[in-house]
């Protein structure tokens, strides 16, 4: 029996996800096209409900968190109506530890649309920032560009190509990206120098960001397949850094290398955490995220002078403890990286209200 066409004719011919709005879907409205359904009474589904979850009770699961259609992520996840009152909730529970529960008892996560969009846009911007400035909040230019290893050169090229991606070059871009990922996966991840293996992980993180936030359903599926590998790779690198740098002479360069590893691992887990929340409504990555290490002195990242003056004050704490300490600290200007990880936990409004007015980047 042939499958009844539910999409409008325009979306069906273009092989695009149709929102099924009636009498005209949002894509046709946006492009000023005539919207025609083959059948006169198309089923009513996504109508600005939470993150695109079907509002039709027949389509919704009987219990548990609702999931988001993968095509919905690609087509409209970054065009959510911030005025939709149904979506205005707290970003997360008050603190990381409140969300953990026991393994096997994962807590559903709801989100303030504006806060989620802000975090997603930050993650999406990292490949662009690397192509434009040769660094990001987790990659220091002076740490990787002096030696400029092949993995960083390749990542720079892929990120630069992503800036001008369109329908004509998209397939070539992702073929190049997939080839680079394949090469990285063939190489041992624990046999080289610490900096060399860090650059491999940083390249992989950039590639997965492009796949998840700029790719289609096939690219997201590939990113999902490599999630466990990337997580294990990051945790292994943290352990190596703890062993190999434990007796190193304290210096700003050593601190930058250590913090680069910590930040890269947090970003790796963060991109999958956001993706899991949109796709499943829960976040299995949170127990690991909450215990990942982070420095209490984020100002050292951009200032060697600040490090030399206050290096004795540096302390490494768990991400969950970092957010708790921040709540009780006096308002101050936030570094871009720490603002991203705080907004992901506390919400954009709360972070901006408890920070200095000029901490908007």
SS (H, E, C) the chain: CCCCCCCEHHHHHHCCCCCCCCCCCHHHHHCCCCCCECCCCCCCCCCCCHHHCCCCCCCCCCCCCCCCCHHHHHHHCCCCCCCCHHHCCCCCCCCHHHHHCCCCCCCECCCCHHHHHHHHHHHHHHHHHHHHHCCECCECHHHHCCCCCHHHHHHHHHHHHHHCCCCCCHHHHHHHHHHHHHHHHHCCCCCCCHHHHHHHHHHHHHHHHHHHHHCCHHHHHHHHHCHHHHHHHHHHHHHHHHHHCCCCCCCHHHHHHHHHHHHHHHHHHHHHHHHHHHHHCECCCHHHHCCCEEECCHHHHHCHHHHHHHHHHCCEEEHHHHHHHHHCCCCCCCCHHHHHHHHHHHCHHHHHHCCCCCCCC
Q: Are both 167 and 120 inside the same structural domain?
A: yes
* Structural domain includes residue 358: no
Q: What is the pLDDT of residues 28-73, one digit of tens each?
A: 888 878 888 776 543 333 333 333 333 333 333 333 333 333 333 4
What pLDDT sits at residue 90?
30
Q: Are both 11 and 63 inside the same structural domain?
A: yes
Q: Are both 5 and 104 inside the same structural domain?
A: no
What pLDDT sits at residue 148?
81
Tokens at 288, concatenated = 């690991």
User: 3-state class of 318 per DSSP?
Assistant: strand
User: 3-state class of 324 per DSSP?
Assistant: helix
- Residue after which a domain boundary falls, among 43, 77, 111: 77
* Structural domain includes residue 199: yes
* Structural domain includes residue 359: no
β-strand pairing of 316-318 with 293-295: antiparallel
Q: Are both 277 and 129 inside the same structural domain?
A: yes
* Structural domain includes residue 82: no
* Structural domain includes residue 183: yes
* Structural domain includes residue 361: no
* Structural domain includes residue 98: yes
What pLDDT sits at residue 109?
53
From its phi and psi, is residue 198 left (phi > 0), alpha (psi between -120 and 50) or beta? alpha
Q: Are both 14 and 112 inside the same structural domain?
A: no
Assign residue 64 the CATH number of its domain.
4.10.240
- Residue after which a domain boundary falls, among 37, 59, 77: 77
Q: Are both 279 and 302 inside the same structural domain?
A: yes
Total domains in the chain come to 2
What pLDDT sits at residue 206?
97
What pLDDT sits at residue 170?
93
Q: Are both 102 and 135 inside the same structural domain?
A: yes
Q: What is the pLDDT of residues 175-205, one digit of tens each?
A: 999 999 999 988 766 667 899 999 999 999 9
* Structural domain includes residue 360: no
Q: Are both 153 and 288 inside the same structural domain?
A: yes
Q: Are both 130 and 242 inside the same structural domain?
A: yes
- Residue after which a domain boundary falls, among 42, 77, 112: 77
Domain residues for 27? 1-77
Residues of the chain with pLDDT under 70: 1-4, 39-113, 188-191, 357-361
Q: pTM, whole model, 2 decimals?
A: 0.70
What pLDDT sits at residue 127?
96
Q: Are both 206 and 332 inside the same structural domain?
A: yes
Q: Are both 16 and 164 inside the same structural domain?
A: no
Q: Are both 196 and 297 inside the same structural domain?
A: yes
What pLDDT sits at residue 43?
39
């Amino acid at each position: 029996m042939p499958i009844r066409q539910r999409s409008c004719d325009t979306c069906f011919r273009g092989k695009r996800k149709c929102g099924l709005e009636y009498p005209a879907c949002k894509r046709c409205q946006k492009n000023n096209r005539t919207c025609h359904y083959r059948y006169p009474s198309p089923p009513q589904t996504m109508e600005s409900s939470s993150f695109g979850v079907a509002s039709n009770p027949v389509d919704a699961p009987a219990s548990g968190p609702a999931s988001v259609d993968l095509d919905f992520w690609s087509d409209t996840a970054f065009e959510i109506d911030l005025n939709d009152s149904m979506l205005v909730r707290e970003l997360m529970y008050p603190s990381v530890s409140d969300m953990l529960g026991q393994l096997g008892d994962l807590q559903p996560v709801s989100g303030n649309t504006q806060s989620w969009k802000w975090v997603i846009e930050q993650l999406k911007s990292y490949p662009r920032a690397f192509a434009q400035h040769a660094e990001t909040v987790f990659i220091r230019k002076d740490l990787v560009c002096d030696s400029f290893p092949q993995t960083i050169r390749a990542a720079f090229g892929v990120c630069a190509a992503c800036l001008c991606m369109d329908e004509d070059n998209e397939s070539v871009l992702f073929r190049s990206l997939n080839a680079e990922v394949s090469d990285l996966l063939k190489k041992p991840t624990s046999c080289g120098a610490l900096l060399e293996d860090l650059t491999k992980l940083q390249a992989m993180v950039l590639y997965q960001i492009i796949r998840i936030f700029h790719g289609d359903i096939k690219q997201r599926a590939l990113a999902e397949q490599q999630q466990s590998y990337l997580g294990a790779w990051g945790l292994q690198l943290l352990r190596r850094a703890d062993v190999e740098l434990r007796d190193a002479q304290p210096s700003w360069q050593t601190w930058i290398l250590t913090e680069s590893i910590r930040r890269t691992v947090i970003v790796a887990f963060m991109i999958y955490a956001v993706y899991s929340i949109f796709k499943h409504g829960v976040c299995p990555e949170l127990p690991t995220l909450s215990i990942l290490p982070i420095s209490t002195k984020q100002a050292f990242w951009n200032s060697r002078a600040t490090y030399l003056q206050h290096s004795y004050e540096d302390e490494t704490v768990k991400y969950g403890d970092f957010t708790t300490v921040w709540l009780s600290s006096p308002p101050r200007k936030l570094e871009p990286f720490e603002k991203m990880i705080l907004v992901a936990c506390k919400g954009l409004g709360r972070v901006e209200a408890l920070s200095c007015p000029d901490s908007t980047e």
